Structure 1
């Protein structure tokens, strides 16, 4: 028995690894097809396919031919595809294979059309995904809004399923004792009594970190011991660094770059903040929940699936500076509120564990095995 995983980038192998390993344990041949030859694991064969994330790229025509040839030669029993363009090309290439019994599963890690999305997203991606659903045996969504959209708009996939994300190995996370917390803070140059806000996100437009920076000065005035730590890299990093320098916010806003110790930094912080415009089911928030810190984030698809306002964090409407600042101030002023939200997060995060994700996906796989 053979299974093929596909995505336009090999980066998605990190999401697939537990499920690839699960197939190996069942005695299946596991192959992987993507656009990049990066280090990936738990496969028998790796195939480079000329996928492009740009819908109108001619590379996708080449990718279709390459993948069609691969499918004709290998006769896969199951194909599990990810990423918008990777999945479109895969499902088109697999049309004849499906007639011979191949089952195609597509996991959408956040559809590009959603409430508040630009009209161009609806004009391009909505008809594309609705058409491709006809060539999908099982469409898997990871948040409630996407699931309801596909159900209510009558997508013609064989089945439509919702899972709680791709799963997080909760064994990698722990709540730090105060002594350990102080040690991490010391390495970061952060005071033991500082109120530490952390943002973990790539510096790209949809992450909208400019909102956090525009409110940092007001928050520092009302919370003098506030520190904002910003982790990540990306195209807007230098622009944001210049803004902080020009507005003399260097003393309380720090850019830490790409870090391999994100879990420790989050665990040593008091709150994770996110002002994103668009998310699927954000891993940074799940990981913050796993180390027991509250979350204050924009009230958007994916984030509202994770955070219940007032229980394990706070939600604010995009652009609502007043509510955002009030929520941060409220949390900073109440240690008991922080502890209550910590306990709720440690309980709520369990349903996003890797074990539960494997259990749910194995149910889906077994339906087509």
Structure 2
């Protein structure tokens, strides 16, 4: 898992873990020792174990520990969720003789992270050397890491659809809990505070939008290293009284229903699971054009360049003028491929067939 810090990939993996057939497949988690949000109690309750290993920034100790663990535990499947960095654990898994080695692409790259992008570009040519199978959260993410003509399987960032379906009672209760009045236009964003998610852009949009729509609030859900800078920028713009910093939340499914619009100004995304969740909740979405169009399951999502701030403002204003007559669509067949129950059953079958074909099958993996 690399570093478990409360991000989107961790939530995807944990969601699958809760729903796979654990009589056939069991997960153990290898996490960097400096991880800050490891749900150890839940993992242990579900039958798994957590192994803390040296951070990958210490490559020699990291690799030695991995090879040692792979040899001791004899896991038939090693599934790496750390994108271009999967080169390191999967090379160790191959050295230790792990028969099934899965590289999983959850992301891509974009502007704003120079050093990180250099590392991704350096490692990407080696992404096909060590895996026996390739997974990706979207076609876009798979092609980016493995190549345009590579053979890979799309494993969607699936969710509990019913948990996110719109409920007017939940909306009213959640807005009341946030202290947001019925006539306030509430824009929402969910994401870790880091360069990729580009939250400061939304502050600039809000600052120019407020003179035209003064009854607007912006709610940030999440935490991360960039949060203090974003808070300071809000103060410098003089709009901090229009912003809610909600931190890490366990009721994100309810928050989507409180939002009148959802914005994701990411510099890059593998898919954008939060946009899927927002649409299932019936929330109009405005996304950067660096988010894959596979994230549009409502066929009503706007994708706008980050270079065109005025278009972001006009699109959000247009949404605000329609909220009074907003129709919530809860029967969306495009969302069905993101149903976690069906997706987890499929993943279980993929694990079992992979282990069997590699002669690594045991009664319980």
Tell me, yes or no, if the aligned pair for 1:80 and 1:104 is still in contact at 8 Å.
yes
Tell me, yes or no, if the aligned pair for 1:211 and 1:319 is still in contact at 8 Å.
no
Counterpart among 166, 189, 195 of residue 175 in structure 1: 166
* Mapped partners of 1:87, 1:74: distance in 2: 19
1:147 and 2:150 correspond: no
* TM-score normalised by length of structure 2: 0.82
Cα 1:72–1:182 change in 2 (3 A) is closer
Cα 1:201–1:343 change in 2 (3 A) is same
Cα distance per residue 1:7-66 (max 9 Å; x no partner)? 22346664334555636311x5643322248433134443222132xxxx3x22112112
Cα distance per residue 1:85-132 (max 9 Å; x no partner)? 76222211122344xx711112121134x6x68776665323423324
| Offset of residue 133 of structure 1 | 1.3
* TM-score normalised by length of structure 1: 0.81
Counterpart among 323, 327, 338 of residue 352 in structure 1: 338
* Mapped partners of 1:224, 1:345: distance in 2: 34
* Mapped partners of 2:23, 2:245: distance in 1: 42
What residue number does 1:138 align with? 133
Tell me, yes or no, if the aligned pair for 2:70 and 2:96 is still in contact at 8 Å.
yes
Tell me, yes or no, if the aligned pair for 1:193 and 1:225 is still in contact at 8 Å.
yes
* Mapped partners of 2:245, 2:350: distance in 1: 42
Tell me, yes or no, if the aligned pair for 2:16 and 2:340 is still in contact at 8 Å.
no
Cα 1:187–1:119 change in 2 (3 A) is closer
What residue number does 1:257 align with? 247
* Mapped partners of 2:189, 2:178: distance in 1: 15
Tell me, yes or no, if the aligned pair for 1:91 and 1:132 is still in contact at 8 Å.
no
| Offset of residue 174 of structure 1 | 3.2
Cα 1:47–1:147 change in 2 (3 A) is closer
Tell me, yes or no, if the aligned pair for 1:92 and 1:135 is still in contact at 8 Å.
yes
* Mapped partners of 2:90, 2:105: distance in 1: 13
Worse-matched range after superposition: 324-333 or 145-154: 145-154
Cα 1:105–1:221 change in 2 (3 A) is same
| Offset of residue 253 of structure 1 | 2.7
1:313 and 2:307 correspond: no
Tell me, yes or no, if the aligned pair for 2:170 and 2:257 is still in contact at 8 Å.
no
* Mapped partners of 1:93, 1:200: distance in 2: 35
1:332 and 2:332 correspond: no
Tell me, yes or no, if the aligned pair for 1:292 and 1:346 is still in contact at 8 Å.
no
Equivalent position SS for 2:129: helix
Matches within 5 A, 1:77-88: 77-84=76-83, 87-88=86-87
Cα 1:33–1:147 change in 2 (3 A) is closer
Tell me, yes or no, if the aligned pair for 1:20 and 1:43 is still in contact at 8 Å.
no
Unaligned runs of at least 5 residues, structure 2: 357-365
State the number of aligned residues: 344
Indicate the structure whose relative CO is greater, using CA pairs within 8 Å and at least 6 residues apart.
2
Counterpart among 91, 100, 103 of residue 100 in structure 2: 103
Tell me, yes or no, if the aligned pair for 1:107 and 1:140 is still in contact at 8 Å.
yes
Cα distance per residue 1:161-192 (max 9 Å; x no partner)? 12222x21223223121x54333222222111
Tell me, yes or no, if the aligned pair for 1:32 and 1:47 is still in contact at 8 Å.
yes
* Mapped partners of 1:19, 1:254: distance in 2: 30
Cα distance per residue 1:188-223 (max 9 Å; x no partner)? 221112221111222222211121111213222222
Equivalent position SS for 2:12: helix
* Mapped partners of 1:345, 1:252: distance in 2: 33
Unaligned runs of at least 5 residues, structure 1: 1-6
What residue number does 1:34 align with? 31
* Mapped partners of 1:225, 1:78: distance in 2: 53
